[in-house]
Structure 1
Amino acid sequence: MGVKLPNGAIFSVAKTYAAVAVVSAVSNALPAIATAAGHGAADGDIVEIGSGWTALDGRIARADAVTADSLVLEGIDTTDPKRFPAGTGGGNVRRIVDWTQISQIMESASQGGEQQFYNYSFLEDTGDERQIPTTRSARSITLTIADDDTLPHYPVLKAANDDREPRAIRFQLPNGSVIYFRAYVSFSEMPTTTKNEAMTLQVTLSLTGAPTRYAA
């Protein structure tokens, strides 16, 4: 058991990617193993995954037990053949080369992720409805940052906003744990201008898939 404070947490966005490498196959295993000739990754590198498996596509993972033509996707579980039909997980992988910290974050707020339900009852029912869980609502994180266009994150966020291509996001927690996810980046260049308050900008990270967390 334990209670943790977020003070000192750091958000970073992928600035540079290596070339895309074709993944010919992904194993049904825990952890999953991707076969990809010329992937260029080393142990500990962070990679973005494209896959024929919807539940794997867009995930971010740490490479482990790397060989010349394969890499273990640490923490990625593809053992369920219903979600991950054998032989259809191929796609691509690309290594994140460089990260840029999103600095001067003044506020952080998470939205979405709530479980949705389908409620139903039969004509003959006279009591309570029944309920089945369906999907979760789309998740996003809104960061309010102090306005400073001289900081390194400014052009990186602007480029991500303009090209509308998702980026890998790294969220480093004070206890050493790290959470990775992929998200579309929306960046407002118009600062707030409230008298006697810091001018701020908003960054919205719209998640495209499940996050991956690694312990310290």
Structure 2
Amino acid sequence: MAARFPLPNGAVLEIASVLGTAVPFTALTNAAPPVATAVGHDIENGDILLVTSGWARITDRAVRAADVATDTFALDGLDTTSTDTYTAGSGVGSVIAVTAWAQVSKVTAFTVSGGEQQYVTVGYLEDDDDRQMPTNRNPLSISVTVEDQPSAEYVSVVEGLGDAKTLSVLRMKLPNGDQVLYPGYVSITSSPTMERNNVMTRTISVGLSGRPVRYLAA
């Protein structure tokens, strides 16, 4: 059998073009995935949600709704089981569902940077060598190079989000069926790059507001 390698060829990138209204939840469980209580909600299985929560580690992240039932739904892809990190009863907040998407077409490059582990250096008088201990990670950023298409639907979407500095979601659908959600703030260069004998391109920049979540193909 021939070896198979993960190639991005055939991947489809989308950006949230329309968001719904906030749906408040009055409780969020310590579980994997956590279950939200929202009386009379209209969330459906598979909806992509932007999360606001009293738990800072999950706020401004994008997740998929699962196990939807009357007055409850789960935030698939999150793990809030640790009560040391997620104080019980403090995760109350709201979600906003993505109701429409625009395809970011003719992508020529998709680059993720950041996320490196940072360290604090400590040295004691009796030490010959300094020590390092992990602290936080650098923020993640995405750079998307696209062919210049001023009339494409996504362009006005990204320009509007950039002007308003509004949080949004990008969804990458990989050819193997996996999906990755990237929550963040987007902008696009106002003028394309122009070089003789090369395609004119613009760059979409994304400053992530939280870690991406990847869902494996069923």
Asked if structure 2 preserves the Cα contact closer than 8 Å seen for 1:32 and 1:72, the reply is yes
AA of the residue aligned to 1:157: V
* Distance in 2, Cα, partners of 1:84 & 1:204: 31
* Distance in 1, Cα, partners of 2:111 & 2:67: 36
Q: Which runs of 5+ in 2 are unaligned?
A: none
Percent identity (aligned): 36
Equivalent residue, structure 2, for 1:194: 195
Equivalent residue, structure 2, for 1:144: 145
Asked if structure 2 preserves the Cα contact closer than 8 Å seen for 1:30 and 1:77, the reply is yes
Among candidates 29, 48, 51, match of residue 46 of structure 1: 48
AA of the residue aligned to 1:199: M
Within a 5 Å distance, the mapping from 1:57-136 to structure 2 comes to 57-126=59-128, 128-136=129-137
Q: Which runs of 5+ in 1 are unaligned?
A: none
Asked if structure 2 preserves the Cα contact closer than 8 Å seen for 1:34 and 1:71, the reply is yes
* Distance in 1, Cα, partners of 2:209 & 2:152: 27
Within a 5 Å distance, the mapping from 1:180-191 to structure 2 comes to 180-191=181-192
4+ residue stretches of structure 1 with deviation over 2 A?
Answer: none
AA of the residue aligned to 1:76: L
Equivalent residue, structure 2, for 1:206: 207
TM-score with structure 1 length normalisation? 0.95
Secondary structure in structure 2 of the residue aligned to 1:206: strand
Offset of residue 2 of structure 1: 6.1
AA of the residue aligned to 1:209: G
Offset of residue 202 of structure 1: 0.6
Among candidates 10, 27, 35, match of residue 8 of structure 1: 10
AA of the residue aligned to 1:107: A
AA of the residue aligned to 1:97: T
* Distance in 2, Cα, partners of 1:60 & 1:120: 36
Say yes or no: does 1:166 pair with 2:171. Answer: no
Asked if structure 2 preserves the Cα contact closer than 8 Å seen for 1:147 and 1:200, the reply is yes
* Distance in 1, Cα, partners of 2:107 & 2:172: 13
The verdict on how the C-alpha distance between 1:129 and 1:2 changes in structure 2, with shifts beyond 3 A counting, is: farther
TM-score with structure 2 length normalisation? 0.94
**Alpha-carbon displacement from aligned partner over 1:45-65 (angstroms, at most 9, x marks no partner):** 111111010111012111112
Secondary structure in structure 2 of the residue aligned to 1:22: strand
* Distance in 1, Cα, partners of 2:36 & 2:139: 28
Asked if structure 2 preserves the Cα contact closer than 8 Å seen for 1:21 and 1:37, the reply is no
Offset of residue 38 of structure 1: 3.2
The CA RMSD over aligned residues, in Å, is 1.3
